[in-house]
Amino acid sequence: MAVVHVKHHPEVTAEKAMEIFKKGFAGKYEVYMAQSALRDFTIKKSSMIGLSVKLKQEKDKTTFIYTSMVPSALMALLFAGIWYSLLMRPKYQAVMNEVKTFIENAPQFK
């Protein structure tokens, strides 16, 4: 799990944030509403690699919380386990770093 805090932007909703991510990652990643009430949207690199994102508005800051996930339920079932997590960790870490850089540099979040 990773957390990035930015300047407080109370006008940014989960839907607006998702649209910003969609534009920022157009042609590279698929961005769509999450299937879980615990997260707001998903950033999908492949059926095996993705991130779930939660937007949290706090009193003095806006926070993005994101966690690695397997976007495909079938793939999650087939490849669940510690060995998979260890093998895929570098790929997840690369996407997580890219998302962190995007959040920190997006003009909408400055």
- List the CATH number of the domain containing 98: 3.30.530
Count CB-CB contacts under 10 A for residue 55: 20
Q: Number of folded domains in the chain?
A: 1
Q: Where are the alpha helices (DSSP H) in 8-81?
A: 14-24, 73-79
Mean pLDDT, rounded, of the chain:
89
State which residues form the domain around 32: 2-109
Cα torsion 9, 15, 18, 23 to 10°: value is -90
The pTM assigned to this predicted structure is 0.86
pLDDT digits (tens, 9 = 90+) for 47-82: 888 999 999 999 999 999 999 887 765 555 556 666
C-alpha 80/C-alpha 21 separation (Å) is: 27
Cα torsion 108, 70, 33, 109 to 10°: value is -10
The predicted structure's pLDDT at residue 78: 57
